[in-house]
């Protein structure tokens, strides 16, 4: 599973780089985007699709900064930082969203284990942050209460 994803990803980036250098901006959308994982309806398959495993180790070295109560689920500020060394990726999920996978940040080179963004949450649920460090996956969760949902109209 892992290997297949690796192959898919390298092929996609290679194609994008090729398109960029040759000046051909063909919309290569489906190739690069991990549709399977983002369309997954439950946390397990979303995790499996994005990081290749559903097993993570709970860690207190991951800090999730998010409001306890979000008045507007359409805009929930979330900041994730980690004291784990050599973090390769940070994945954010919201447990009870229709499609739980929110984003995956692949960190490279000199990047530090820190990302901050704003997410949509359908209803009160846990925000799960997964950090990849040294080939292992660590996770932390925090509950955010949502008073107005952010999905749908």
Report yes or no: 94 and 100 within 8 Å, Cβ to Cβ. yes
Among 25, 57, 68, 135, binds another protein (CB under 8 A): 25
CA distance between the termini of the chain:
36
77 binds another protein (CB under 8 A): yes
110 binds another protein (CB under 8 A): yes
84 binds another protein (CB under 8 A): no
Phi, psi of 117 (to 5 degrees): -155, -175
Nearer to another protein, 127 or 140 (CB): 127
86-105 footprint of another protein as x/- string (CB under 8 A) = --------x--xxx-xxxxx
Beta bridge partners of 59: none
Beta bridge partners of 82: 62
What gap in Å lies between CA 54 and CA 44, rounded to an integer? 6
152 binds another protein (CB under 8 A): yes
Residue 149 DSSP label: -
Among 5, 36, 38, 54, binds another protein (CB under 8 A): 38
Instruction: Tell me the two tokens of residue 4.
Output: 């297949």
Q: Footprint of another protein on this chain (CB under 8 A)?
A: 25-29, 32-34, 38, 50, 74-77, 79, 94, 97-99, 101-112, 114-121, 150-153
């Amino acid at each position: 599973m892992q290997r297949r994803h690796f192959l898919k990803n390298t092929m996609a980036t290679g194609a994008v780089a090729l398109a960029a250098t040759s000046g051909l901006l063909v919309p290569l959308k489906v190739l690069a985007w991990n549709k399977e994982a983002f369309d997954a309806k439950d946390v397990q398959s979303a995790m499996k699709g994005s990081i290749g495993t559903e097993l993570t180790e709970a860690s207190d070295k991951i800090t999730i900064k998010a409001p306890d109560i979000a008045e507007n689920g359409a805009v929930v500020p979330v900041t994730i930082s980690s004291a784990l060394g050599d973090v390769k990726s940070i994945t954010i999920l919201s447990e009870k969203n229709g499609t739980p996978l929110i984003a995956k940040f692949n960190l490279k080179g000199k990047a530090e284990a820190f990302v901050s963004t704003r997410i949509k949450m359908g209803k009160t649920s846990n925000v799960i942050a997964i950090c990849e460090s040294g080939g292992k996956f660590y996770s932390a969760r925090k509950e955010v209460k949502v008073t107005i949902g952010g999905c749908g109209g």
